Amino acid sequence: MDHSAQQTGAAHDHASHEAHHGYAAHHGGHAHGEASWSTAAKATLHCLTGCAIGEILGMVIGTALLWGNVPTMVLAIALAFLFGYSFTLFAVLRVGLDLKAAIKVALAADTVSIAVMELVDNAIIALTPGAMDAHLSDGLFWSALLGGFAVAFLITTPVNKWMIGRGKGHAVVHAYH
């Protein structure tokens, strides 16, 4: 019986484990399910930046075009995803990944984070009395939007911490840094 294949497989498994442990230790976590709050907060802030740019741009465009609430929110959410993904996409393209692989990394890294952030943020805006009818010049519009971003950050950070600790979400980007 040929045992070389078994030994190679065991060596590969050990190497994979060591590589994973090295990643986790380097990024402030442990190999089995724990990531640092700092790493999670940085990943969430990265995601929030793209989301905020897209969402604010969508709100400004929808308001300038005199669109109703629903089409404006749809545009804002679509642009939040677009800008959120683009930040990661450009970062991994810069290190030499081809476009198809970069898109896969961006989708894997940011989809859950952006979705949670957008759900929370838009729910807060929608549930804040008068915020949906406020104009860009109204303090209520900006306080609801910025308050929504703050709450979304607080809720999304633990989600990202959990995902990074399992090698998912933003953790897939770090393989290309």
Closest C-alpha among 4, 3, 170 to residue 87 = 170
pTM: 0.77
8 A C-beta contact, residue 86 and residue 57? no
Q: What is the pLDDT at residue 16?
A: 36
Question: For every one of its 177 residues, what pLDDT tens digit does the chain have, with 9 covering 90 and above?
Answer: 444 444 444 433 333 333 333 333 334 444 445 788 998 999 899 899 999 999 999 989 998 899 998 999 999 999 999 999 999 999 889 988 999 999 999 999 899 999 999 999 999 998 999 988 888 899 999 999 999 999 999 999 999 999 888 888 877 776 666
Q: What is the pLDDT at residue 170?
A: 77
Q: What is the pLDDT at residue 45?
A: 93
8 A C-beta contact, residue 58 and residue 75? yes
- What angle do the packed helices 99-127 and 37-64 form, to 10 degrees? 70
